[in-house]
Amino acid sequence: MFERPHERRSHLRFDKVFTVYLTTQDGMLRGVGRNISTRGMFVEVRDQVGLGEKLKVTFAGEDGTEMTCLCEVRYQVALAFGRKDGREGSSRGVGLRIVAYETQDDAPLLLVDRERVMH
C-alpha cells in the first residue's frame, strides 16, 4: 500500500469551482477560482499574469453580492496535455496570496497579514 503524502498546508481549503474577476494594471480578466483558503487560492486564467503582481479578485454571488480581496501572484502554472480525441489541450493558472479584504467601497482594506503591508 502507498502512504499518503503529508499535507503541508495549515489552512482548511474550500475545493469548489466559482467565477472570479481579476482587476490588474492592464484591465479586467475573468477566471475560475479553485481551492481557496483564508490565505490564498488558485485561479485558472487565459491570459498570463506576472509573478509578484498585485491585483484585486472579486467574487460575485448568485444573489448579486460581491466580495473583493487584494492578492499577490505567488506562482504560475501552465499545462499542455493531449485530449482523448487526439487534439492538444492546455490550461494556465496562478497561485494567489490573499493580502487584504475590502469591507466596503469607501472603507480601507482589512489586512490579513500585518507583517507584510503592501503600499
- Pick the closest to residue 20 from 69, 57, 63 (CA basis): 57
Q: Does domain 14-104 have CATH number 2.40.280.10?
A: no
Cβ 22 vs Cβ 92: under 8 Å? no
Check whether 1 has a pLDDT greater than 60. Answer: no
Q: Give the separation between CA 27 and CA 24, rounded to whole angstroms.
A: 5
Q: What Cα–Cα distance (Å) separates residue 34 from each residue in 81, 87, 109?
A: 20, 25, 23
- Looking at per-residue pLDDT, the higher value among 90 and 71 belongs to 71
Could you tell me what percent of the chain has a pLDDT over 90?
35
Sequence spans of domains, the chain? 14-104
CA-based end-to-end distance of the chain? 50
Mean pLDDT of 51-73: 89
Task: Provide the pLDDT confidence category of residue 119 given band limits of 50, 70 and 90.
Answer: very low
Average pLDDT over residues 63-68: 85
What mean pLDDT is reported for the chain? 80
Looking up cell 501552465, which residue turns up? 78
| Residue 54 parent element (H or E) | strand 54-60
How far apart CA 72 and CA 51 sit, in angstroms, is 8
